[in-house]
Amino acid sequence: MHHLMRKPKTYMQNSMARSDFLDFDCIAYATRRTGRAVTNLFNARLSHLDLNVAQFGLLAAVGKMPGATLAAIGEAMLLDDSTLARNFAVMERRGLVSAEGGRGRGGKQLHLTAEGVKLAKAASTVWVKTNRHLAAQFSEAEVRAGRTFLKALSEASQRLKAKDDAAAHREARRGEASRVVAERA
């Protein structure tokens, strides 16, 4: 009966800081939580540059793919339109990227400005150093195995999504064909 008289748990004890009661066997949960933890570390390390992980990723992508469209960069980074547009707008307002040419995300060609190149260089130094510090927490074999697993997980997820999309497309075509047949009858 004494277990009923225990103090109630505090918010912190029930929060993500003590997540032993959460389901780490779920791949989606475990990867999202891990991703948030890693993102939080990198965001903290980049904060003095007034840059976050998503913005740095876009900055780096534009630097590696000069002249690419926003659509091409979004596809390469697997970013949704709203995240891409929001981060691009911030970086354009800060004078870090410029867009020239066509209209919309499929036409404008992106380039880093001189200020963007300077910030990308400073952020890359922080990024590499943080990456090294984090990797140093593990053996080389663990780091290699982790990267191999994450790459395989990403590829498997993309394959399954493509299959789901194809099945949904086939189902939609069948539904459309059934509707046309019903209208003709």
Query: Residue 101 pairs with which residues in a beta bridge?
Result: 108
Average pLDDT over residues 25-51: 94
End-to-end CA distance of the chain: 72
In a domain, 25, yes or no: no
Kindly report the pTM of this predicted structure: 0.74
In a domain, 54, yes or no: yes
CB 94 within 8 A of CB 49: no
In this predicted structure, the answer to whether residue 185 has a pLDDT above a threshold of 60 is: yes
Closest CA to 118 of 132, 99, 97, 100: 97
d(Cα 50, Cα 44) in Å, to the nearest integer?
Answer: 10
Q: Between residues 60 and 71, which one has the greater pLDDT?
A: 60
Contacts of 123 (CB under 8 A, 6+ apart): 46, 49, 51, 56, 59, 60
Confidence class for position 41, pLDDT limits 50, 70, 90: very high
CATH number at residue 40: 1.10.10.10
Contacts of 124 (CB under 8 A, 6+ apart): 60
State the number of CA atoms in the 13 A half-sphere of 79 facing the CB: 22
Q: Which pLDDT belongs to residue 81?
A: 80
State which residues form the domain around 95: 35-135
- In the chain, how long is the greatest CA-to-CA distance? 74
In a domain, 69, yes or no: yes
In a domain, 179, yes or no: no
Q: Which pLDDT belongs to residue 13?
A: 47
Number of independent structural domains in the chain: 1
d(Cα 143, Cα 79) in Å, to the nearest integer?
Answer: 25
Question: What are 118-149's pLDDT values in tens digits?
Answer: 999 999 999 999 999 999 999 999 999 999 99
d(Cα 75, Cα 27) in Å, to the nearest integer?
Answer: 23
Query: Quick one: CA torsion of 72, 76, 78, 83, rounded to 10 degrees?
Result: -50
